[in-house]
Every structure is written in C-alpha cells, then in structure tokens.
Structure 1
Amino acid sequence: MQFQNITFEDGISDSRIEHVIQDKKGFVWIATRLGIDRYNGQNIKSYKFLQEKQAGTNTMLQTQKGNILVATTRGLFIFDAKKDLFELLKSEDSVLNTHLNSNIHTIIQLKNGKLLCGNANGTVFSLSFEENDGNVKHQMLNFSNGSNSNHPSSIFQDTKGTIWMGTSQGDLFVFNEKEFLNTTFSKYNHNTYINDITADSNGKLWIGTKGNGLFNFDVNTNEVKQYKKQLNNNDNISESINNNFVICLYADKNDNIWIGTDGGGLNLYKNKKNKFYYFQSDSNNKFSISDNAILHISPGEDNIIWTATVHGGLSYFKNNISLYNIPPSKLGIRNKDKQGSRILESKNGDLWLTAGRNGLRRYNRRTGKVTVFISDPNNKSGLSGNNILSLYEDNQNRIWIGTLYGGLNILEPKTGTFLKAENWSGLKAVFAIEKDGNGNIWVGSNSGVTVYNNNLKIINTYTVGSNIGLSSNVITCMFKDVKDDMWVGTAKGLNVFKQGKFKSYLPKKEDSTSLSGSRILSIAEDDDLSILVGTYGYGLNRYFRNSDNFKRIGQEKGLKATFIRGLFLDDEKNIWCSTNLGLSKITPAGMVQNFNSYDGIEPFNNNKAELGHNGYIYMAGNFGITYFKAEDLANNYSKDHNVFFTNISLINKNGIKEAPFKNYLENYKLILPPDNVMFTLRFTTSNYWDPKNISYKYKLEGLHETWQNIGNNKTLSFSNLNPGDYSLKIKAFNREGLESTHIATLNIYASPSFWEKTWVKISLLLSFIAIIFGFVKWRVSTIKKQKQNLNILINQKTKLVEAQNRKIYQNNIDLLNAEKANQQLKQKQLENELNFKTNELTNRTLREIHKNNLLDKIKDDISKVAKQNKDSKSLKSIVTLIDNTLNLDKDWDDFYNLFQQVQPSFIKNLLKESPKITDRDIKLCALIHLNFSSQHIATLFGISESSVKVARHRLRKKLKIEENQTFKEFFERLTTHAAT
C-alpha cells in the first residue's frame, strides 16, 4: 500500500496524534496532547484548550448533527463554530458537572442519539442534549464490579444495537438495558487492559489488548480465539499478528480488520484468506507508514483510512486491497534499479521474472521456492547475460530468454539446462520473441528478425537489405494476429508480414490517419480485429484493416500517457495499457480509467504488465511482483468530493488583510467592505489522496452566466465588484472527468460606499429634485419679470423699427422706381437699336432686290440686242457676268451677319428644332420671319413667285408646321421654347 503523511512540515502542532476523524464536510480534526488541529488540505489551524485546564485529549467524536466533541483528561469539550473555539460542556446539574469535568476515557454516540461516556473513576453515564441550546441531561448507568481501579476503557455498539464495554482490568461487559453485566470473555484475558473493540459482518467481536494480543470472541457460542505474535515472524504475511500490543481496531466494509499496534506497525487481517499482513515504517520508502506505533484508525472520505501515530504524525492510505504483492526480499531481488522487470507466467503456474540487471528468477507460487539464474563467465552452460529484455514459453514449455548483450538463451525447465540455438550469441538486444502460425519462433533483435524451428535451427532471416520491405533492423516488438499475420514493430515504423513480404507503415506529416509515431513499443489485437499499436512518446493507435488507416484512441477520453509499453485484452475485452504513468484500462465503450502510484501501480520503465492464467494481471520490478484480478482493480475514487473554502484575503487601499472567515458555519455570508479593491479566495476538496488530479469549475452568479473552467487552480480573485449580492459556486471533477454532485456555495455581498447607499442616493435624489424645483420656481418668476420688461422694450423697439422700416420702404420704392425708369430707358434704347438694325436689314435687302431687278432688266435688254446682232459673243459674256453677279453669296453673308445681330438665337433654335434643313431653307425662314413678300423673296432667290410658293410649302413639311399654324406663330413658339 501507498501511504501519505502529514507531519510538522505541514503545520501540525505535535507529532504524537491521539485521535483523528474526518468530518462530514471533509475537514480533518487531529487530536494531540496540545489541543486540536484542523486540517483542510492546505493549511492547519490549531485550537488550544484553556491553559489552566491543561487537558490532554483521549478521544474525539462527531455527533449525528455534526458537532465535534473531545473527551479529555479534564472534561468534555464541544466546538462552538460561531465563536471558533472549544468550550467545556456544562450542566446546571452539579453532579453531572462533576462527571463532565472528569477524565473521560471513552465516548460513543448510540443509534438513538444519546452519548455514552466512561471515565477514569469507573463511572458510565449517558448524555442527551439539544445541541443547539446546550441543555444537557444525563442518566447514570450501573456498572457491576465497578471501581476506581477497573474503569471503562472502550465502549462499542454493534450493528444489532448491543452495547459492549471493555475495562482496564480486561473484563468485557454487555449492557442489558438496565445495567452492564460481565461476560465469559473475562476469564480468557487475564486482567489485561482492553484498548479497543470492533465487530465483523458475522457479529464476532475483535478485542485488542495491551500486551495480550488480539482476541476474536463469538458472542453466540462464547468461543474465543487468541492471536499473538509468533516467533521468527519476520515476513509480511502470517497466521497471526506481529505485535501483542494492540491499541486500536477498525473493521471496514469488506470485512477486513485493520489493527494498530505499538511497535508492529499496521496489521491487516483478511477474513476471506484468514491471513495477517503487515505494513511497517521503512526509512528508505517514502510511501511507507510514518511510524510503527499507531494510536487510532479512522475511516475517511473517498475510501481513505487515517492512522494516528506516536512519533510520525498522521499517515493515511487508500483502502485498496485488491492488489497482492510478493516482496523483493522473497524473490532474491536486492537492487533498487529503476529498470522494470519482464514477467511471464508459465503453463505450470510458475512466475518467471527478470531481476533488473541481475539475472532471472523463477518463483513457485505453491511452495514459495525461488530459483536464481545469474550469468557466470566461468559457466559456459549457464545463463548468458544478466540484462534480460524478453521472455517467451514455447509449445515444449521451454523458456526463451532474450538479453541485451548475452544473446539468445533457451532454458529447459525440467532439467534446468540451457540449450544453444543456432547463432544464439550473435543476437543482441533481443526485445521480442513470438510464435508464428506454423509454430516457428520469431526472434527480434537489433539485426532484424531470425526465425527458428522447433529444432532451434534458423530457417529464415529478415533484414532491411533482403528486399522484402522491412523498415528497420531494430526490432522492438512482435505480434501474431488471428489471421496468422505477423506484425513487427521496429524503431522505424510498423510492419506486417504477408505472402513472404513486409508492408510498412510510417508516420506522415500532417496526416492524422497515419501512424502517430515511428518507434513501436507494443502491438495487440482488439475484439473487432483492429490492430492496437503503442508508440514511444506518441500514444496509442488503432489500425483499421478495411480502410487501411490509423486513428489515435483514448486521448479524448483521458489517456494522458504517451509511452505505451504493453498492450493486452482481458476476458471482458478491456484494453490494458502499460504506460509511463502506470496502467490504463480502456473499456469497450471507449472510457478510460487510469491507475498510478496512488493506486499501488508504478510507472512502467522498459517493462510491461502481463495477463496470466485465471484472469490475473502481473507486474514486476524492484517492488517485487504485484498481481490482481482484472475485474477487481477499479477506480475507487468517489466523485462526490466536498469542496470547501479555506482562506479569504481582502485587499483595500491600505493593503492586504485576512477576512474573518468561518467556512464551517452554515449559511456563512462574506461581506466585502466598501473600500475593497480586490479579494482572493482559496479552496480545496476533501480528496486528500490525489488532489492534483482534481479540476474545478466556478460560476459567480451576478457576474457570470456560464461555468468557468480553471483546471487544478485552487485560487480565485475578483476585483471592483459592483455593490450587490453574488453567489460563488464551485464544483470539482475527478481524474476520470466525473463531476461532483456537491457544489460549494459562498454568498457574497459587496457593500456600497457611503455615496452608493440606497438611502443616501434617495436623499440626494430628493435634495436634487427640491433644488431643481426651487430653481425652476425662481427661474419662472425671473422670466415673468423679464418678460414684462421685455414687452415694454419690445413695444418701444417696435415703434422705432416701424418708423425705420417705413423710411427704408420709401427709400426702396424710390430706388425701385429709379431702377425701373433706367430699365425702361435701356429697353427703349434696345428697341430703337433693334428697329434700326431691322430697318437697315430690310433696306439693305430691298436695295439688293432693286439691284437685282435692275440687273435683270439690263440682262433682258442685252439678250434682245444679242439676238439681233449676229456677232454677239461680247454681249453674251456680259449676260454671263450679270448671272454670276446675281448668284454671288457675299451679299448673303452680309445679310446673315446683320440678321444674327438682330435675331442672335433664331438660326440656332431653328437648327435645334430641325437639324436636317438646308442653308437655302434657313435663308427662306429668315426672309419669312422678316415679313418679306413672295415677290421680294422670288427676286432675291432669282425664281418665280410660284416657285416661292412651292418652297414655302416644302419648308412647312420640313419644319412639321401644322396646317392651322402660320410661320409667324411657329417662329414665336420656337423662340419661347428656346428661352424656357
């Protein structure tokens, strides 16, 4: 078993512990000669009794309602949680007070709630009191043969309600509802002090005495069996106790009797095996019990057992007795080498194990005989090589032994002789030996695979250079599956041998479906025929045959180990992994259970656990051989750990101070002062065994809506909380991820500052409203007076403004009239100018018409003369010259320029309306717009009037002038639209 200890270094006030109990909330109360220590997993608080009392503690008790009672040499004390101290229990009855102030040796609480006390004066009395108001009542019980020299030393009530009492003179009394009567046991004990009494599930009493050993008393048959120390009883297992001074007893729920002795350490009696086991202090083993003198044994939470010692403080351990151990002393193992041992259970039941670097051991479990095999250079027929790496039993019951430097050894158990296989000495670092489907033995070393037949002859060798696909010559493990395929793990990948060749699997970067690591440590086959592969530093893989890929398994369920040194399946199809952290079990549903040194399972270093016959799992190392039934090893960690607060520190502007925190009080409420800047809370759990594997979540209601994960951190800090009520809740998770049903709750009230208090806020609000109301009222009055004055001023200003406005208005009228006259003058000037231009244009056009008419008449006269004159060439040239003169456009250019001055936008608007009209059309439109007659137009164009009529008609179509619309109306509309 693994023990943990609480000593001076942890803060206890005395190394001698008289009594220990763990209360319902999880606190551990430790009774010493100096007073009581209360341990919460983080720190210890000491309570001293009144100095004048100088009381030494005898025993402690937690009542059904949770009160802590301490029986001392100077009376009975009770813990007052509100005052945070122990007070002497008192009564108004003077006789009872005498007994309450006496040396009370023993106290128990009966099933009916009454307390039964026995003191050094030989008095037995019962107490009943309301624990809330302290009203104490009592009843004296008759005690036959009672005297000062024969006082009650131990009182016990069994499961049937029967009350038993042991005395200082070795008598055993039973209470018959009226008085205590002596039993037949007294004649067996020979007046030896009875230290303690307990009972097993069969109703038999176990009685520990001061020097006369241990007794088993059958109350039905009055048969008594005595267990006393046997001569030369030096082993860790025997038929009796190892010390006759039995100080304390405890019967657990599995019917095991735990026995505290004065010098013999802790003894364990297993009823089912009828054997005693001993656990003693060992200065070389930090996990041993701290002292061999034990004063009290007490059960705690989470299957922990507490032991109070004389010199070693407090020791405690997990009550996990499903593990069995054969110590190294029985196996001839003396060294403390950390290299683990390989172990093999042969078909005849013998256990073969390597002794680190010290050879081989054969242990016969039936006889306990150990055979030692050690390499001797002078013995050529003996074991060759002491550093053994692998063991295997073949069909002929021969033991194959692979060594680091000594080659391959084969032992014939019947004769004890070693056989020499072919090239046995050439094989180094033989880590793996396995049988194939044909019965041949595969031996894996650092030079590849060597295959032997039953005659120890080599029939095959497989190496990297043989062109069959082996990925490495360094063979680390081998396994034959149900299909007779041979799986070979190497220092560089996994190989499977099929049809005469190896197929290799290696890790691929950024491919999660490939092998996780290249160095393979272990191989097994799951129930679904998938292949399990353990790696060196990269966890566990599962190979799927159908998809030909890998998947990492167990990590998401809690398999934290990365070195998987061994793999096998038990009868329930659970996968067992030997890892660098201990043993891990993966159930068929995928749940992971981890077992480590706190469970008695050491980490595996170059060794692994093996599944033997009848469901036993074996492990070996410098601790000897440990074995257990696969179905018996289960996590006995309760998930219902109590979480409780241990300390609160308040930080204000002046520094840090501890809060007056009494976390064992019901409905305790933390009041934060107004000047609080930050506060820190520390908490822990009642799991004293493995606290580092407990994680926590918290939620501060009023601030958080969801749970916050903080891992194993046991400290929380909050700063600058707004005034108001909060509720801090904390819950724990064990190492398997199971959530505790218990939630620790601390109510917190953040006090407001003076200015944040409600009545101050209301007063300030009312004052503010009053001020506002007064201000408004004053303001309204002021505004009213100002309004009256303003009205007077406005009337005055209005009259002045009106006079000024009239003057300004008249000035504006005069100015406008002058502007209007000026505009009219300009308009008249423009009209005169336009009329002048129009007249000039018309006159110029008329002159052009007159010129053209004159030229036309001259042309006609010359034409007539030319007809009469035969020699008329010169006349005809004159006529041609006149025609050219009539067709010149220069006059038209002058016309256009002048027209543009008179009508600057006419032609532009005309082209915008009808972009396809010709220059001749534009000229015609200009003449029509100037009101020229058809005759004048005909003269200007040199055409007849009828042709002008036709031209006007065509122009109307081009301009899309409606039939009832004149050219004048069209031109006016054109000018209006353009202006718009």
Structure 2
Amino acid sequence: VYDVQDRLVSNSEWNFTYNKNGYLSRKDHLSNGSWVTYTYDALGNLLVVQFSNGTKVDYLVDGSDRRVRRRLNNTFNAAYIYRDDLRPAAQLNSNGTIKSVFIYGSRSNSPDLIVQGTVTYRVISDHLGSPLFVIRASNGQIVQQLTYDTWGKVISDSNPGFQPLGFAGGIYDSTTSLVRFGARDYDASVGRWLNKDPIRYEGGLNYLNRQTLEFSRYTNNPNDKASLNSSTVRSVFVDVNHDLWVGTFPTGVNFLDTSSTVFQTYRNDPNNTNGLSQSSVLAMDEDESGILWLGTDGGGLNRFNRTTNTFTHYKHDEKNPKSISPGAILSVKHDRDGTLWLGAWHGGLNHFDPKTGTAKRYNFSLNPGSLSNNNIWALCNDQQQNLWIGTIGGGLNRYQQDTDDFVNYQKQAITNENFFLVWKVYEDHQGQIWVGANEGL
C-alpha cells in the first residue's frame, strides 16, 4: 500500500512510518510486535538504527556524506577509507588496522580484487556488481558465496563478514540488512530507499534566455497555488505546441502554457481511477499522433487524453508476460511506427504497442547480443532510427532491429571506468551522438 506521495506504508509484513522530511523513521512488524527505528542528521544521513530487542547500530559520516565508521551496541567494529565519493579503498578493523584493500579494474562500482594481509582474493560479480563468489587467487578456493533475490536482498552467505560488499557493490550491513551507496541507504527487502537523494533535486526549474543569457527560476511557493507544486523536478518535456510539462517528486506533473505563468497540476488521487496512477513522474514523451505518455515510479505507464483530462494506465502484471516490466519507468521514447520504447529500473527495455497494450521485454542475459544491463536510464532515437540505450551499470547499447539484438559499447573505444553509468544520450543537428556518463561527456 502506498500513500499519496508514493511512499510504501505497508506490505505483507510491515507498517512503515516517515518523518516530516519524508525519511523512513520507523517500521512495525504486523504479527510479532517487533519494531525498528531510524534516526538521521540534518542532511538525511542515517545515523542510528535501533531494534526493539535492544540491538543498536550507529554510524559516523564525514563531510562528504560518506560512512566512515560503524558501531554495534556502542562497540566500534568497522571503518572505511574512500578513494572517491562512492568507492571504499579499504576497510579497517576495530583496532584501526587495515583488514581489506579493494582494487578496482573492470568495474567502477565493485572491486576485482580484495587484498587481506598477504592474501589476494578475486571477486566474481554479476552484471550489477553484486559479489557472487570470492575466490582465493593462489589456488581457486571459494571462500565466500552469496545469492540475492530480484531486489538485492541477500538470500544466502557462506561466510558472513568476510568482506563488506553486497548488492551492486554497496556496503552491506548484515545487522540492518541495508546497503549503503554513497550517501543513501537501500532496503533490499522492500526495494526502496530510506531517504531522499542528498544530491538535491530541490532547485526547481531554471529557464535560460539565450539572447540575454539570464536565468528565470520557477520554484514552489506554498502561498501560491499557481506556482510549481514542488521544487523537486525529475523530468521536463516540451510538447509539439511548445507547452511545458514538468514531472515533480512526489507531487505529479505540472503543465504550463508558455503564454502564461500559471501551472496546472495533475497528481494521483486514490479515489479517481482515471487520474494519474502515481505522483512521481520520471519520464515523458509525445508520440506522432500527439498523445502524451508518462512513466512513473511504481505506477507503470500513463497515457494522457487531453480532451477529457483523463489517464489510461498500463502496469506490470505477474500473470501476463506481455505486460510491461516491473520497476520505475525512467525513460520513454516513441518510434515512428507508433510504438514506444520504455526503460525501467531493474526491468530492462520494453517495446510497447499502444494498439494492443502489450510489450516485448528485453533483459540482460549471458547470451551474445544481450542487453548489457537491466537499469535503463536514457533512450535516444537518432535520425537513422537507431535506438541508443544508456544503462546504469552497463554502459551504452544500440538496438539492432534487423537482428533484434544489441551492440554494447562499454568495451569499445571508451574504458569501463568512465563509461559505466550513462545518464543521457542526445543527437545533435549534425547527427552526432553525445553521451553523458559518470566521468563526463
């Protein structure tokens, strides 16, 4: 069950409570009465996790929001040294000595090697960077084996505590079952983040006048109902009429007729079955017939009827293999034949046919020509009708329509290190493809 801000408030095991900043503050078990509380600093960094049985885990973060120390029941037992904002260079023991050194090579988010004292171990990870096997390099002995469910929850661990890395290369805490990625904590048991992204999306919308090179800024004004309804902007789209659509978190989508300064808002209403399915709009596009399509975080795909001001919903159905993938829809791109391409978080690529309401799914596999990663952040249809796919964890892909498979550019021309996370793909007027990645353009 989700609230009007798209936050998970209950599932089959837990009730969830949030503080005034939108961070998870408490969860209560539905059957056994146990509970867990979460305490944060002013910037949203998790500081304390308290369990009803008396167990307490607390953390220390540095000025860059990185977790540098962990204590269990007031006893210091781990610390980390970092090589950059996200990646730990070493783990320290409780006495301050080095326990493990992490050596990165083929991936930017997870190490290839772990060195403990004089012993070197090789890390075998999946396509997301989650360690599956840790092997002693000298003799091939498996010293740790891990398995995960779809959302990254550890199902089995043959050697708990041997090394600290878990799902997608994040720092895994076996007591709390949370995974730390930079400045945020992920709860794999429910597939949700505990808090908002400290990178900050609250800057509103900025408009650049190309003639004067001056910016106009649009932000939320609580005293003005005609203002942008949230300063947390997640998507922006200009339609064929040159009108503006702004997707915000977690308050729906704002429409602005550019001849006006008054925003009209569409958001989720649980009592309106023809309204927006979820209020967190992450992606938008307009097809050749002028229909607006909106991708949401947890509400699937929405089709907007401008005449009736109503929405049609297309969601994942576990019983229907031709429904769209589960997960947040992070990118939407129309094709000239009237179909749509959808990029989903954890859900891969979908080729959606609006006429039938069905989708063909493309997911990562070990087969040649497979999509390189299931986290699709960016899509671009170029002038030659090539579909370019930017992934978070697998670099850049290009779809080949004649063979119905993919070319992956992660290993071609650009190293994995600076081409691992692709946030944006854009074609200019000269037909050149520009790629915004984790190490620049």
Higher relative contact order (CA 8 A, sep 6+): 2
TM-score, normalising length: structure 2: 0.48
Give the helix-richer structure, 1 or 2: 1
TM-score, normalising length: structure 1: 0.22
Give the strand-richer structure, 1 or 2: 2
